Amino acid sequence: MSALAQDNDSKKGRPRSDASKRAILDATRRLLNHTTVQKLSIESIAKKAGVGKTTIYRWWPSKASVAMDAIFTQPGFQNIVPTTSSAAEGIHIQLQKIVTQLNGKNGRVVAQIISEIQDDYEAVEAFHKSFMQARCFQLAKLVDQGMKSGEFRDDIDIETTVDTLMGPIIFRLMSGLVMTENYADKVMDAVLPGIKA
Amino acid sequence: MSALAQDNDSKKGRPRSDASKRAILDATRRLLNHTTVQKLSIESIAKKAGVGKTTIYRWWPSKASVAMDAIFTQPGFQNIVPTTSSAAEGIHIQLQKIVTQLNGKNGRVVAQIISEIQDDYEAVEAFHKSFMQARCFQLAKLVDQGMKSGEFRDDIDIETTVDTLMGPIIFRLMSGLVMTENYADKVMDAVLPGIKA
Amino acid sequence: MSALAQDNDSKKGRPRSDASKRAILDATRRLLNHTTVQKLSIESIAKKAGVGKTTIYRWWPSKASVAMDAIFTQPGFQNIVPTTSSAAEGIHIQLQKIVTQLNGKNGRVVAQIISEIQDDYEAVEAFHKSFMQARCFQLAKLVDQGMKSGEFRDDIDIETTVDTLMGPIIFRLMSGLVMTENYADKVMDAVLPGIKA
Amino acid sequence: MSALAQDNDSKKGRPRSDASKRAILDATRRLLNHTTVQKLSIESIAKKAGVGKTTIYRWWPSKASVAMDAIFTQPGFQNIVPTTSSAAEGIHIQLQKIVTQLNGKNGRVVAQIISEIQDDYEAVEAFHKSFMQARCFQLAKLVDQGMKSGEFRDDIDIETTVDTLMGPIIFRLMSGLVMTENYADKVMDAVLPGIKA
DNA sequence: AGGTAACCGAGACGGTACGTCACGTCTTTAC
DNA sequence: GTAAAGACGTGACGTACCGTCTCGGTTACCT
């Protein structure tokens, strides 16, 4: 069960309709092909999904949550951890995967989700839990591992280093600037010399 | 004249009221102390400023534009170019100024503006023109200057380097993460070793 | 159900609120004591009735429709058919009732409704259905009955005769001229000699 | 000078522009071919006439006044008094002229003017002065003349008789009902038998 | 001849109301 | 007890006109 939505713990009564859930997420995905998260409305999702508004409100606290569920449960949006020989290579692969995930349509939607969330603390938390945290944590782990193995210098600040890896990507994402497919390489070229032992 | 609002080039007819303009920007600034850009409404600005809604719509295309005008015309939000001995020092000072500008209340508002803008291409352009461009361009110039003077390596990619400088700041800004006053130093420590000759 | 408003035929969903309907018509009646139909606004009705504007728009197509519903559903505005010995007496009574209904406050409102309606074909139809038709039809029936019983001449034009009965009343109503309580008698005196056998 | 607009009594200063006056009335007439008096706006007249709004407000108190000036100064809208042998014939001709004037496009506009005026006492007065009064007064004079000459009975109420002549026409005008070209004949047939000696 | 008073066009201004949209809640019936 | 349907109060949207105002300019008359 996703962390974005409520749980259905009760045993009594009619059980939650999985058909409805699927219809809602499908409708959301389809609508996001033609509009932005900002212009998306609970009402339009409900109508397109053939579902009552209350059903959506029962399980998700906001349209941003629905959008997150719709986007992050798509195939290709998991944060699968690679096994590599060197820390640098691991970081490179990880960055490449993130760039791929955030390029094109999906990237726009993620940018819109980040935007939509700005004044909702709980949603920010949910977003970090379901997207940022895992990716950043893994980068941090790889940096740490590189430091311990002697591949990287031992006096670098892990947190800031992760920022210089993720930051540029998010920066370009939010700026609406073009992000070429080889942008991960560029970031690696820029950051690696500064941390190599 | 700001790039955010229409101009009043015509000589005919009643001239634009400066009092109204000031009242609108003042009201916006005061309202932004208590709400977010998202929750701000043209109607509330008009009411607080004692102004007709049409007067706002006449000169600004959206509430985000008003917010930008209100924030970026504040004292302390100019991008004054420092003269320094070394490129590194120039970059450092520039980053510090940006961190200062984006820390606290104003930073939240800028984050909200970036958010509010996501589905409006024209507004994104306006934002970059009035905030990002000057700051990024200057960083690029400093990097370039450092390369030419031999202070930095001559094989670095300027654009990506600028991304590694600005990216972390924007990343933390949009993530709602804490950004300590010395965050500029941290970014410098992380990035400088990679570009020094 | 009045012809002025939409119907709520569907069985599904939350049923129409009778409390809101009553509140709207009451508020309209109270407001019409202090203003004209022209100066009446949907917004003021909504505010006074403690109701959303959309609720009004859902059931009535225009403020004139609301006004009609408010006025014509008042007690004393029904077109009750009298049983009389002679056609002339029936006509007289009918005219007297109409004059009574259109004298004073209510008359002003009806005049304003007729005015408000002038550029809305559908509303004109609705007005005739809910006010004019029944009254004119009954006058026509009485004239016809008088012709058949030999009380009136048999070569008169029913439609035009009804016009000479209703016409003067509406004429004075729309002209803002005084209409004394005995105006019905005057019209009878003027028209009857021309149609008596 | 029309009774509808202000006068230009002052001798000093730039004199009133006749070109503007004509442009305003022309524009109004052209606009009234495509809309109603209700939907007409001072702003649209000003724009179409190439004239400042203030110029209109300076000379006319309301759009209804402008419309009256535009309509009633057209050729064919004068109330020329005929000389006839009998009172009945004079009345007949007068009614026919009124029906002709109020049939078709112009009739619709007059109906709209009457409507537009309802809550403006001054405008009602102006309307009666420039349209109703002359026509009703002449009918009254003819009725009076017929009574005195023995053509009509001597116990009829002049005012109410005029009402039975004008009333039906205004009634049909305001009701949006068809008014055939021979409607004057019908009214004569209905009213004359009741007043003939 | 110059001053000045009233006109004119343009168009910005503070307002009011419009009719629409989406919100999140509520109240039905149906399953 | 969950669901679809849809009415409800609320609040903001962006637009249209209102009637007023302030500009720069343009006539005319009156010293």
Amino acid at B13: G
The answer to whether B148 CB sits below 7 Å from nucleic acid chain F is no
Extract the residue ranges of chain D whose pLDDT is less than 50. Answer: 1-3
Residue in the structure block whose two tokens are 């100019």: B78
The burial class, CB within 10 Å (0-12 / 13-18 / 19+), for C55 is: middle
Choose, out of C125, C171, C182, C185, the residue to mutate when testing the contact with D (most D CBs < 10 Å).
C171
Q: Which residue has the higher pLDDT, C1 or A52?
A: A52
D61 neighbors D72 (Cβ within 8 angstroms)? no
The answer to whether C52 CB sits below 7 Å from nucleic acid chain F is yes
pLDDT at C9: 67
Rg over CA atoms, chain C: 19
pLDDT at A2: 46
Determine the Cα–Cα distance for residues D51 and B24; give it in Å rounded to an integer.
31
Amino acid at C3: A
Amino acid at D95: L
pLDDT at D3: 45
Residue in the structure block whose two tokens are 């009614």: D95
Q: What is the pLDDT of residues C31-59, one digit of tens each?
A: 999 999 999 999 999 999 999 999 999 99
Q: What is the pLDDT of residues A123-132, one digit of tens each?
A: 888 899 889 9
Nucleotide nearest to A12 (CA to C1'): F1
**Taken in order C3, C9, C13, C15, is the CA torsion positive or negative?**
positive
pLDDT at A85: 82
On chain C, the residues whose CB falls within 8 A of the CB of D115 are: 114-118
Q: What is the pLDDT of residues A48-94, one digit of tens each?
A: 999 999 999 999 999 999 999 999 998 888 877 777 889 999 999 99
Give the three-class secondary structure for A152: strand
On chain D, the residues whose CB falls within 8 A of the CB of C154 are: none
The answer to whether B170 CB sits below 7 Å from nucleic acid chain F is no
Give the three-class secondary structure for C15: coil
Determine the Cα–Cα distance for residues B108 and D40; give it in Å rounded to an integer.
48
Q: What is the pLDDT of residues C152-185, one digit of tens each?
A: 999 999 999 999 999 999 999 999 888 999 999 9
- Interface A:B, ≥3 CB–CB pairs < 8 Å: yes
Residue in the structure block whose two tokens are 């700005």: A118
CA distance B163 to chain A (A): 5
Determine the Cα–Cα distance for residues B158 and B156; give it in Å rounded to an integer.
6
